Structure 1
Amino acid sequence: MSTQITLKAARVNAGLTLIDAARRLGIGKDRLIKWEKHPDEVQPRYQKVISETYKMPIDDIFFGV
């Protein structure tokens, strides 16, 4: 099992601000803030988009499951 990083850490490692990441994901910054605090609320379809946007394997990001 590999070590997973938080959603916020994945965003920061991708070099994205909160607003830039939200725009690229097609969501509001408030939703992204909520997801970073409660990663278990991210739907699977968005997990895939986040993985692609942050250029990180989905298994390396902690989504609370």
Structure 2
Amino acid sequence: MKITLKALRVNYGLTQKEMAKVVGVYPDTWANYENARTFPNKDVLDKIEKYFGVNYNDIIFSSYLRFNRNLVNE
């Protein structure tokens, strides 16, 4: 199953601020991950995988979504 960072966060009922704290980044940094302005480094990706129980290959980054907006319910 493919899923976005935003969908993962929302499905767990977390705010961007809460998710940023979970992975140890600033809230603005997490927002940038969700919007594909920047991408998480290996340490942050490991935390995301562990917290949500997903594999990196299951995460869709927003650059793909620019062409497939229907994948994210904003």
Please tell me the TM-score bracket, short chain as reference: 0.7 to 0.9
| Structure 2 Cα separation of the partners of residues 31 and 40 of structure 1 | 8
The change in CA–CA distance for 1:14 and 1:57 in structure 2 (over 3 A counts) is farther
**Matched residue of 2:3: which SS?**
coil
Aligned to 1:6: 4
Question: Highest relative contact order (Cα 8 Å, sep 6+), 1 or 2?
Answer: 1
Aligned mates of 1:14, 1:59 — CA distance in 2: 19
Q: 1:54 aligns with which of 19, 40, 52?
A: 52
More strand by share: 2
Alpha-carbon separation, structure 1, partners of 2:37 and 2:2: 12
Distance 2:33 2:26 in 1: 11
Match of 1:44 among 39, 42, 45: 42
Report which of the two structures shows the higher radius of gyration computed on alpha carbons: 2
Distance 1:43 1:11, change over 3 A: same
Residue correspondences, number? 63
| CA RMSD, 1 decimal | 2.3
Give the TM-score taking structure 1 as reference length. Answer: 0.74
Q: CA deviation at 1:40?
A: 6.2
